């Protein structure tokens, strides 16, 4: 992961450019606007940028919009109280999310500092105190990995779970973002299918189609990208126990699907790629997304039985990256419930303001956070 971060975000001179980009994309006069907005009844708190830590702040704001994740964290700290100290990353994370949602029983701060959380993560080996620009997607993975380490959640033994149970089974100690990808190989010569293999995921990283050199800016939909993600893939040189002889190899087709559906679905759109000249570039393609996402056509049991039962998710947050592949700034559009009403907000470190759904849908998503409809 650390090697990935080094290749994804350049350091040294780029750190200086990152600071300049932060000034460009996070206006200094937003503090006065925030105060005026809060006077109108906005009850969300911003987060202090501790030095290129917008990637932390934007991820925390997105997670704080996911009610199922918040409820899971609260229950987790109750059940694991004997092993989770007050200074644990789990406790610090829940405190931070409660404060920025203005629901903490004793702490009210606007903006709020993430230093306590950063220190707790540092104890787990995550070097977030270097004050250099990093990636929101990687930080999301760091958080969930640390929660797993602190709680030592038992993993689901998929060998003991029937196919019909894989979709609905939920472990009380596993993250609501945890799901399982089902992959299956099928021999093109005889049609024999191999046993289904399951791989855990907590975020689906989706690649954009190959760039059209004649059209530098293209438009995709999140549904199309997900279809591409699970599209059949040809695998050469596989020995088939059913029809291969001696050392002969056959051609197989690999099919992906959702074996276990997560309660919270995180989608990461990979926008950085290496050019033919060896330069790291950022794709600016516009990706359309919806407030309501139906993934029924991706579910393994639906495909197996051809029973297309709806599997619907509702949008909770959008993380957007402003800038280039080398430097920039992360912001978040997120939902928040106020007095029984759900509203959208724009957050950029300490700055928080109301947002319209039209503005949200025009954003350029880097990460999308959904919750399954109950």
Q: Is 272 inside a domain boundary?
A: yes
Q: What is the pLDDT of residue 359?
A: 97
Residue 330: pLDDT band by 50, 70, 90 thresholds?
very high
Q: Is 53 inside a domain boundary?
A: yes
Average pLDDT over residues 320-333: 92
Average pLDDT over residues 67-81: 92
Residue 238: pLDDT band by 50, 70, 90 thresholds?
confident
Q: Tell me the range of 16-30, 38-52, 58-72, 266-280 where mean pLDDT is highest.
A: 58-72
CB distance 196 to 300 below 8 Å = yes
Is the Cα dihedral 17, 22, 25, 29 positive or negative? negative
Q: What is the pLDDT of residue 14?
A: 32
Q: Is 241 inside a domain boundary?
A: no
Residue whose C-alpha is closest to residue 365's, from 315, 319, 324:
319
Q: Output the CA angle 298-301-306, nearest 5 degrees.
A: 85
When the pLDDT of each residue in the chain is averaged and rounded to a whole number, the result is 82
Average pLDDT over residues 16-28: 38
Judge whether residue 241 has pLDDT over 60: yes
Q: What is the pLDDT of residue 217?
A: 67
Judge whether residue 167 has pLDDT over 50: no
Q: Is 135 inside a domain boundary?
A: yes
CB distance 60 to 48 below 8 Å = no
Q: What is the pLDDT of residue 3?
A: 35
The share of the chain scoring above pLDDT 70, in percent, equals 80
CATH number (domain holding residue 64)? 3.90.70.10
Q: What is the pLDDT of residue 30?
A: 47
Burial of 287 (0-12, 13-18, 19+ CB in 10 A): buried
Least confident range of 107-116, 129-138, 147-156, 321-330:
147-156
Q: Is 250 inside a domain boundary?
A: no
Residue whose C-alpha is closest to residue 95's, from 79, 108, 80, 82:
108
Judge whether residue 168 has pLDDT over 60: no
Average pLDDT over residues 249-259: 92
Judge whether residue 160 has pLDDT over 60: no
- Between CA 270 and CA 203 the distance in angstroms is 12
Query: Per the structure, how many domains does the chain have?
Result: 1
pLDDT digits (tens, 9 = 90+) for 79-116: 888 778 888 999 999 999 999 999 999 999 999 999 99
Q: What is the pLDDT of residue 216?
A: 62
Paired tokens of 243: 């029809």
Q: What is the pLDDT of residue 42?
A: 60
Judge whether residue 27 has pLDDT over 70: no
Judge whether residue 269 has pLDDT over 70: yes
Judge whether residue 202 has pLDDT over 60: yes
Average pLDDT over residues 333-349: 91
Range of the domain at 92: 2-163+262-372
Residue 217's CB is within 10 A of a number of other CB atoms, namely 10
Q: Is 251 inside a domain boundary?
A: no
Q: Is 52 inside a domain boundary?
A: yes
Better pLDDT: 301 or 276: 301
Q: Is 140 inside a domain boundary?
A: yes
Q: What is the pLDDT of residue 131?
A: 64
pLDDT digits (tens, 9 = 90+) for 203-219: 999 999 887 766 666 78
């Amino acid at each position: 992961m650390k090697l990935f971060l080094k290749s994804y975000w350049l350091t040294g001179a780029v750190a200086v450019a990152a600071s300049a980009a932060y000034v460009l994309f996070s206006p200094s006069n937003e503090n006065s606007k925030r105060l005026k907005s809060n006077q109108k009844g906005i009850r969300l708190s911003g987060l202090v940028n501790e030095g290129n830590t917008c990637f932390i702040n934007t991820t925390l704001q997105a997670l704080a919009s996911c009610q199922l994740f918040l409820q899971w964290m609260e229950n987790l700290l109750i059940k694991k109280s004997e092993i989770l100290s007050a200074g644990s990353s789990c406790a610090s994370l829940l405190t931070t999310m409660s404060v920025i949602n203005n629901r903490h029983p004793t702490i009210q701060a606007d903006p709020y500092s993430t230093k306590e959380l950063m220190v707790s993560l540092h104890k787990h080996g995550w070097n977030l105190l270097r004050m250099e620009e990093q990636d929101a997607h990687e930080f999301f993975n760091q958080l969930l990995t640390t929660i797993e380490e602190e709680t030592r959640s038992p993993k689901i033994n998929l060998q003991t779970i029937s196919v019909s149970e894989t979709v609905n089974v939920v472990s009380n100690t596993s993250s609501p973002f945890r799901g399982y990808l089902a992959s299956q190989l099928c021999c093109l010569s005889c049609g024999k299918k191999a046993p289904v293999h399951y791989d855990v995921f907590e975020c689906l990283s989706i690649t954009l189609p190959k760039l059209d050199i004649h059209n530098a800016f293209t438009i995709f939909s999140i549904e199309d990208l997900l279809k591409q993600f699970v599209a059949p893939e040809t695998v050469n040189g596989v020995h088939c126990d059913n029809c291969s002889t001696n050392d002969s190899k056959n051609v197989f087709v690999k099919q992906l699907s959702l074996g276990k559906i997560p309660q919270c679905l995180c989608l990461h759109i990979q926008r950085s790629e290496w050019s033919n000249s060896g330069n790291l570039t950022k794709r600016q393609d516009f990706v359309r997304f919806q407030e309501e996402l139906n993934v029924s056509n991706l579910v393994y049991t639906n495909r197996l039985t051809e029973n297309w039962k709806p599997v619907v998710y509702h949008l909770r947050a959008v993380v957007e990256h402003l800038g280039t592949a080398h430097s920039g700034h992360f912001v978040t559009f997120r939902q928040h419930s106020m007095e029984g009403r759900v509203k959208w907000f724009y957050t950029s470190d300490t700055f928080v303001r109301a947002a319209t759904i039209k503005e949200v849908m025009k954003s350029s998503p880097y990460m999308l956070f959904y919750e399954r409809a109950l």
